């Protein structure tokens, strides 16, 4: 599980690097959904890191969740809600397990939304050549191809 997550993050960093190199950040909707998607994946990885419940996991959960206490007005309430009490405890582990189970579904929905926005705007054109001469409509040809790729 840990090796798969590491490989996933390597692919994610290469995807972000490619997007920066080719200027994909100019497509703001697609880029912003990608940033939210990246943050959700980071959250999923963090709550998964806590699940072995060793000393590193415990103190990692304590330090990272305490960062949220810096949020004005609601910080301490938010931290205590995430903890399920006044400190990192068994309730925290149960909540993090639930988050680790539920967040991938949200990540999947956001990835689909990311692809929909990408297909709406079209991907970037690094060569700069006009490619409209032999253009194939996205739907239904590539939609079915993407559906088969998910299956």
- Please give the distance of CA 26 from its chain centroid, rounded to a whole number: 20
- How far is 56 from 43, CA to CA, in rounded Å? 17
* Residue pLDDT tens, the chain, 151 long: 889 999 999 999 999 999 999 888 988 999 999 999 999 999 999 999 999 999 999 999 999 999 999 999 999 999 999 999 999 999 999 999 999 999 999 999 999 999 988 888 777 666 666 666 667 777 777 788 888 887 6
Q: pTM for the whole thing?
A: 0.81
The values of phi and psi at residue 26, to 5°, are -70, -25
pLDDT tens track for 11-40: 999 999 999 998 889 889 999 999 999 999
Work out the angle between the directed axes of helices 90-121 and 75-83 (0-180°, nearest 10): 110
| Cα-based angle 36, 42, 147 (whole degrees, multiple of 5) | 60
């Amino acid at each position: 599980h840990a090796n798969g997550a590491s490989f996933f993050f390597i692919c994610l960093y290469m995807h972000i690097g490619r997007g920066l190199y080719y200027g994909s950040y100019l497509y703001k909707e697609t880029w912003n959904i990608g940033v939210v998607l990246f943050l959700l994946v980071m959250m999923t990885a963090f709550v998964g890191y806590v699940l072995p419940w060793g000393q590193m996991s415990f103190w990692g959960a304590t330090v990272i969740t305490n960062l949220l206490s810096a949020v004005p007005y609601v910080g301490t309430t938010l931290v205590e809600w995430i903890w399920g009490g006044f400190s990192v405890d068994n309730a925290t582990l149960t909540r993090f397990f639930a988050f680790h189970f539920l967040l991938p579904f949200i990540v999947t929905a956001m990835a689909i939304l990311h692809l929909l926005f990408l297909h709406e705007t079209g991907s970037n054109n690094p060569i700069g050549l006009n490619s409209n001469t032999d253009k194939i409509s996205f739907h239904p040809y590539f939609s079915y191809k993407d559906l088969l790729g998910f299956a």
